[in-house]
Amino acid sequence: MTGNIKVLFIGDIVGRPGRNAVKHYLDALHSCEEQKYDFVIANVENASHGFGLTEKNHNELASYGIDCFTSGNHIWDKKDIYAYINNSDRLIRPMNYPKGTYGVGYRIFDVKNTKIAVMSMLGRTFMNPVDSPWEIIENEIEKIKAQAPIVIIDFHAEATAEKICFAKFCSEYKVSAVFGTHTHVQTADEKIINDYTAYITDAGFCGAYDSVIGMGYEGSLKRLKTSIPERFDVDENSVLEFNAVSIGFDAVSGQAQSIERIKLIKDYSEVKE
| Predicted confidence band of residue 36 (pLDDT cuts 50, 70, 90) | confident
Q: Which domains does the chain have, with CATH numbers?
A: 4-267 (3.60.21.10)
Give the pLDDT mean for 256-261. Answer: 98
The pLDDT, as a whole number, for residue 269 is 83
Cβ neighbours of 118 (radius 10 Å): 26
The answer for residues whose C-beta is within 8 angstroms of residue 178's C-beta and 6 or more apart is 153, 155, 163, 166, 167, 170, 171, 197, 198, 199
Per-residue pLDDT tens for 172-198? Answer: 999 999 999 999 999 999 999 999 999
The pLDDT, as a whole number, for residue 2 is 54
Per-residue pLDDT tens for 223-253? Answer: 999 998 888 899 998 999 999 999 999 999 9
The pLDDT, as a whole number, for residue 215 is 94
Q: What percent of the chain has pLDDT over 70?
A: 97
Q: Which amino acids are annotated catalytic?
A: 74
| Ramachandran quadrant class, 266 (left: phi over 0; alpha: psi -120 to 50; beta: rest) | beta
| Predicted confidence band of residue 30 (pLDDT cuts 50, 70, 90) | confident
Per-residue pLDDT tens for 66-85? Answer: 999 999 999 999 999 999 99
Q: State how far Cα 34 lies from the chain centre.
A: 23
Name the pTM for this structure. 0.95
3-state DSSP of 223-269: HHHHCCCCCCCECCCCEEEEEEEEEEEECCCCCEEEEEEEEEEEECC
The pLDDT, as a whole number, for residue 272 is 63
How large is the C-alpha radius of gyration of the chain?
18
Per-residue pLDDT tens for 106-165? Answer: 999 999 999 999 999 999 999 999 999 999 999 999 999 999 999 999 999 999 999 999
Quick one: which of 67, 11, 1, 19 has its CA closest to 43?
11
Window from 52-66, 72-86, 214-228, 245-259 with minimum mean pLDDT? 214-228
Task: Identify the three-state secondary structure at position 11.
Answer: coil
The pLDDT, as a whole number, for residue 59 is 98
